[in-house]
Structure 1
């Protein structure tokens, strides 16, 4: 289906204020706006402002116009829309890589993790949604009889919520962060309003602009607000849903908002996470598992300059192997070239801003009070970058030899920093991992399948995902920090208690569950009980 096309302005010139797309129109915010900078050169790129927008009209338009149009379509039809979005974005991918380098300071490989990850996730949900066919609601489990002769029965069903989905996103994944949430929302039949993090909003805004210009989606199905989030939660109604990615402190403030306390609107949170890598007791130096552990810790410290919510922050090793692991990690980190991502020799680029650089350095200083410095990134020579201007911090590996240092289990440094921590035995290792208070992911490194399974199950109650690696799959596994749409993304406790992705599980957040009790004959006209939303 082709819908009316809305064209945003051409590519912005320097210092142009990016427009917001709300109420079916492109609208510039008032005032001077907030500048978005190149974190390597300090150059101003564009500005954003959401001041003066009619938020009431924007939210009503999305709910009434976009929601009604999406719900009128089947799951298969909406899945086809996701497929069309993929085509639009693929055709513009060169533009997105250029914006990512300019605004996020990322290397081509790191930009690809964001951009290609977004395309893969959209494609996955397009294929998954096609399998749901022409239904407009989903069964949840099997039906059951409520009386002796079976003439009166019950069936739980999932129907799309009659509201909108508001996404308040983090700065580190402006492409994937949008589409990993928007794909299941749109597939479910729920319109989306995206509020990207200000520092890197350009890429999100451009992707939305290209999709709107292509006329792929019904009016009101997708909106973007760049700038302040002020007033957004005030417009949330009981059947709207909110998904937030960011700090635990901000999440706590959001949860106290009346929209959640008094109106019981639904919120999903992904917050802080002190993720772990655990070298199993059997994985001695020289084994495939040991080598995989060294490779993955190095990679997770340096990919996207450590700015991933799933990055390894704590690396646990048997005490007897501490020195060997430290030496192996030092050797790997010493080979990482750091600097301007426009230089093809650079493997690790910039943090997203000088403010983020200051935050990383402050966190590093706090951890240094309890740890020793095993690899000092401050001695690294930056390539094609002025350290007095660029928001670059080279990798730092810390070591903790004493038994108790609460800071390493409490302070998340959102950058290229990790702490190597020894453990006495398996029980001690597990207790240390759990001191993170709930994390998005832990990875286990062992060549012993029984040991792997045991450790994975023991970690499962405090982690949203457990990623196990052996020497045999060292080149085939998907990566400790890579979030795959087939698997759950989220974590308990400190990590926010939220759940995203996980295949069709992702659709549950955008649906309402109800029990239908009716004569048996009515069940011939209800969705068939195949429980697709929980597979």
Structure 2
């Protein structure tokens, strides 16, 4: 039996193939092997040192504007190779063309956004944080807070669901900040990340060491981190706990950003009616969030809260739309929803559904419909499943277990106070969407829910055509969430640069601060 070739890693400014047979990557629909990855035998210490010393020094020698130009050049390279990326996504992630766009074009758009933001920072090499503050009665001696790029590397340990966007939404602000990037993509879908990095390296855009990719095992990566490095992780809460307890974080104070599990919610205004616009908007968004990327989004809606009087109507309306969702081989144009990324994920999702069913009724089960152009015994396809609970206050696992697939649970509430309490039982989420025609209710809900969510996405009839979607993460808005969502923060425009900078206070004469300000720019959000 012939095995697939190993995808090379890029570390220490050169391409390196790992040792051993490697771990195979599969087509989750056809079950065929596509490639293999291995990080065994790599000299990680030398690779990190090269990135830190060579890549970081070269990036920091440039201004923000010059680094922004590098991002713009990367955008052009990625756009020129989009067709290849779509082919890889279909083969390795089982996504439809529309779903692949969320990942691929979303990543490219984010890079372009930060290229424009960085261009506005011009020739500066540091950021001014706030105004000068007098240190005493005499104004000659003042303090100015500044932000400077950290002299370290940024290690990204990414999730399997967004191999493109997951890389570039982190790399864009890191590279703009002047910090070299080492990305470790999730093994199951590593091919797309590796190919994108390869195209950028081959284009000779970035200084050597500015961008590296390690595919395969993550063993030893955290051990390489030093005090001025940063690590950003997207994935399970269990792995997040391991990262937080690692000596690099616990003892060497490596800055750490975590995005973990999240039981995101959708809330319908208690004044809504079954024939009203807010109701229809909720139904449409829930169906979209359940089916886009087969529900494999950290921001997808998992719990849907509606007034008790609308529970049955919502179940019927959502189920009717889900029934029109064809599932199967994404190469077939009639397919609206592709597969999960692997057979392992299929097993996990089916087990998760069984767990939730202990506390919920099945409102819609699409598994009776035949798959389109796919063998059910081979393909990692799971049909949309809508569960429901008329008494969510009595539930436990429904507020604790996230099933990372095309699954959501409808929940009835009796008062808005109860709805808020039930939503908060998710213990912190990335996003909660609110559906209402009443601006006053929307505002009060945002204030009530904001502290438990990284983002409150309010959908009303006046923004129905322009709203960007409950689950779409836009670079100008914050991405992250408190509690079980990881407590991290990403994006949010130029706020993202803060993670890759170190803040210090310069206490000096006004004359010295004038000289400092000449090479810096005020950070404005």
The TM-score normalised by the length of structure 1 is: 0.97
Q: Determine helix, strand or coil for the equivalent of 1:35.
A: strand
Residues 301-310 or 468-477, more deviating? 468-477
Residues 519-528 or 504-513, more deviating? 519-528
The correspondence for 1:147, drawn from 115, 128, 136, is 136
Tell me the distance in 2 between the aligned counterparts of 1:281 and 1:224.
Answer: 49
Counterpart for residue 453 of structure 2:
463
Residues 280-289 or 131-140, more deviating? 280-289
Check the 8 A contact 1:48/1:226 in 2, yes or no: yes
Q: In the TM superposition, what is the alpha-carbon distance from 1:104 to its structure 2 partner?
A: 0.2
Check the 8 A contact 1:14/1:45 in 2, yes or no: no
Superposition pairs for residues 223-234 of structure 1, below 5 Å? 223-234=212-223
Q: In the TM superposition, what is the alpha-carbon distance from 1:534 to its structure 2 partner?
A: 5.4
The correspondence for 1:479, drawn from 451, 469, 476, is 469
Tell me the distance in 2 between the aligned counterparts of 1:112 and 1:484.
Answer: 14
Q: In the TM superposition, what is the alpha-carbon distance from 1:294 to its structure 2 partner?
A: 0.2
1:504 and 2:499 aligned: no
Cα distance change on mapping 1:293 and 1:532 into 2, 3 Å: farther
Counterpart for residue 284 of structure 2:
295
Q: Determine helix, strand or coil for the equivalent of 2:53.
A: helix
Tell me the distance in 2 between the aligned counterparts of 1:30 and 1:437.
Answer: 42
1:414 and 2:399 aligned: no
Tell me the distance in 1 between the aligned counterparts of 2:272 and 2:237.
Answer: 34
Check the 8 A contact 1:141/1:530 in 2, yes or no: no
Q: In the TM superposition, what is the alpha-carbon distance from 1:523 to its structure 2 partner?
A: 1.2
Q: In the TM superposition, what is the alpha-carbon distance from 1:472 to its structure 2 partner?
A: 2.1
Superposition pairs for residues 371-410 of structure 1, below 5 Å? 371-402=360-391, 403-410=393-400
The correspondence for 2:248, drawn from 240, 246, 259, is 259
Counterpart for residue 519 of structure 1:
509
Q: In the TM superposition, what is the alpha-carbon distance from 1:380 to its structure 2 partner?
A: 2.1
Q: Determine helix, strand or coil for the equivalent of 1:323.
A: helix
Q: In the TM superposition, what is the alpha-carbon distance from 1:510 to its structure 2 partner?
A: 0.1
Provide, for residues 417-455 of structure 1, a one-character-per-residue CA deviation record: whole Å limited to 9, x for no partner: 000000001101111111100000000000000001100
Tell me the distance in 2 between the aligned counterparts of 1:443 and 1:60.
Answer: 44
The correspondence for 1:197, drawn from 160, 180, 186, is 186
Tell me the distance in 2 between the aligned counterparts of 1:183 and 1:210.
Answer: 16
Q: In the TM superposition, what is the alpha-carbon distance from 1:381 to its structure 2 partner?
A: 1.4
Tell me the distance in 2 between the aligned counterparts of 1:450 and 1:497.
Answer: 29
Q: In the TM superposition, what is the alpha-carbon distance from 1:533 to its structure 2 partner?
A: 3.8
Q: Determine helix, strand or coil for the equivalent of 1:95.
A: helix
1:311 and 2:261 aligned: no
Check the 8 A contact 1:287/1:471 in 2, yes or no: no
Tell me the distance in 1 between the aligned counterparts of 2:61 and 2:230.
Answer: 20
Q: Determine helix, strand or coil for the equivalent of 2:318.
A: helix
- In structure 2, runs of 5+ residues without a counterpart are none
Counterpart for residue 489 of structure 1:
479
Superposition pairs for residues 74-223 of structure 1, below 5 Å? 74-223=63-212
Provide, for residues 202-257 of structure 1, a one-character-per-residue CA deviation record: whole Å limited to 9, x for no partner: 00000000000000000100000000000000000000000000000110011000
Q: In the TM superposition, what is the alpha-carbon distance from 1:147 to its structure 2 partner?
A: 1.9
Provide, for residues 150-173 of structure 1, a one-character-per-residue CA deviation record: whole Å limited to 9, x for no partner: 010100000000000000000000
Q: In the TM superposition, what is the alpha-carbon distance from 1:529 to its structure 2 partner?
A: 11
Counterpart for residue 4 of structure 1:
none
Q: Determine helix, strand or coil for the equivalent of 1:394.
A: coil
Tell me the distance in 1 between the aligned counterparts of 2:307 and 2:455.
Answer: 22
Counterpart for residue 328 of structure 1:
317
Tell me the distance in 2 between the aligned counterparts of 1:435 and 1:529.
Answer: 48
Counterpart for residue 368 of structure 1:
357
Cα distance change on mapping 1:115 and 1:330 into 2, 3 Å: same
Check the 8 A contact 1:143/1:529 in 2, yes or no: no
Cα distance change on mapping 1:529 and 1:400 into 2, 3 Å: farther
Provide, for residues 274-309 of structure 1, a one-character-per-residue CA deviation record: whole Å limited to 9, x for no partner: 000001112211111111100000000000000000
Q: In the TM superposition, what is the alpha-carbon distance from 1:59 to its structure 2 partner?
A: 0.3
Tell me the distance in 2 between the aligned counterparts of 1:281 and 1:526.
Answer: 55
Q: In the TM superposition, what is the alpha-carbon distance from 1:378 to its structure 2 partner?
A: 1.7
Q: In the TM superposition, what is the alpha-carbon distance from 1:531 to its structure 2 partner?
A: 7.8
The correspondence for 2:348, drawn from 343, 359, 368, is 359
Provide, for residues 115-143 of structure 1, a one-character-per-residue CA deviation record: whole Å limited to 9, x for no partner: 00001000000000001010100001111
Q: In the TM superposition, what is the alpha-carbon distance from 1:463 to its structure 2 partner?
A: 0.2
Check the 8 A contact 1:274/1:314 in 2, yes or no: yes
Provide, for residues 385-430 of structure 1, a one-character-per-residue CA deviation record: whole Å limited to 9, x for no partner: 1010000000000010123111110000000000000000110111
CA RMSD in angstroms, aligned pairs only: 1.2
Counterpart for residue 10 of structure 1:
none
Check the 8 A contact 1:360/1:415 in 2, yes or no: yes
Q: In the TM superposition, what is the alpha-carbon distance from 1:532 to its structure 2 partner?
A: 4.7
Counterpart for residue 268 of structure 1:
257
1:53 and 2:42 aligned: yes
Counterpart for residue 7 of structure 1:
none
Q: Determine helix, strand or coil for the equivalent of 1:347.
A: coil
